[in-house]
Structure 1
Amino acid sequence: MQKAALAVGVVFLLVGVLGFIPGITSGSLGLAGHESEALLLGLFQVSVLHNIVHLLFGVAGILMARSHPQAKNFLLYGGVVYLILWIYGLLIGHDTAANFVPVNNADNWLHLVLGIGMIAMSLLLSRGTTRAASTRP
């Protein structure tokens, strides 16, 4: 569980850094909002705010990976947050002020995969630990 949370945290930290690197991120990087023309890897719409969110999420994952309960919470509730972001991205107009992060269709589907994946990790990786803990005297 802790290794999974650490790995997810490191990936988010890396994505946050990559979002600021010209060449890996193409186009004009805006502060926030749908006006940002920057595309990470030519696919995912990002902004300064979006990159900072990735950095903070990565730091949270790394810090929460220190203990099993915190690692599980990071994966479970982080996954829930990403599912909410997926729904949000589907409901808003991508060319409106409501798209303040910003997100595009590629971001939306990535958020779905991340949400399901993180929740699945939190549930599947904790299956043996609760049984093992309950059998101890």
Structure 2
Amino acid sequence: MMIAQRFAQIFGAVYLLVGIIGFLPPLLLGTLPPGVVGPLAGLLLGLFAVNWFHSLAHLLIGAAGLAVHRNHSASRAYALALGIAYAGLFVFGLIFGLNFLGGLLPLNGADHILHILTALIAFGAYFASRSQGGIDVRRAPSAR
């Protein structure tokens, strides 16, 4: 399994889980940040500004990663698309903050850190897993 495939599998599972727990009101801790709109709005685990739309986006991103992780080309495309999208969210989040898209997609400082880290790892997975002869993360057979 190439690095991009492992990336799609792991990040797909993590983002799917984050999307699910974003719909659980007991995990929305802390004071609702001003500018966050929509039902199920709050601070996920007391850190990340979320609402139903943000959680739905995480569900879709996670499901997409799990759907493509068995295909090398699709996994590379997923890693590249995720890298571009999350780098863009990082930049737009710095500019607009919690009022991004009218508060529909709230972004706070914790989100910015998560987004730039995700983008950097996604780009790394994309470039490390070349179309031909990429780095295979399976264990090499032991010499006998």
TM range (shorter): 0.7 to 0.9
Structure 1 unaligned residues grouped into runs of 5+: 133-137
Structure 2 unaligned residues grouped into runs of 5+: 135-144
Alignment-derived partner of residue 94 in structure 1: 98
Could you tell me how far apart the structure 1 residues matched to 2:23 and 2:30 are?
11
What is the SS of the residue equivalent to 2:26? coil
- AA in 1 matched with 2:50: V
Could you tell me how far apart the structure 1 residues matched to 2:69 and 2:101 are?
35
State the number of aligned residues. 127
Q: Quick one: which of 4, 7, 11 aligns to 2:10?
A: 7
Where do 4+ consecutive residues of structure 1 move more than 4 Å? none
Per the normalisation by structure 1, the TM-score is 0.81
What is the SS of the residue equivalent to 2:132? helix
Query: Residues 17-36 of structure 1 correspond to what in structure 2 (within 5 A)?
Result: 17-26=20-29, 34-35=36-37
Query: Residues 30-109 of structure 1 correspond to what in structure 2 (within 5 A)?
Result: 34-35=36-37, 37-95=41-99, 98-109=102-113
The percentage of aligned residue pairs carrying the same residue is 35
RMSD between superposed Cα atoms in Å: 2.3
What is the SS of the residue equivalent to 1:6? helix
Could you tell me how far apart the structure 2 residues matched to 1:15 and 1:57 are?
10
Could you tell me how far apart the structure 1 residues matched to 2:97 and 2:89 are?
13
What is the SS of the residue equivalent to 1:123? helix
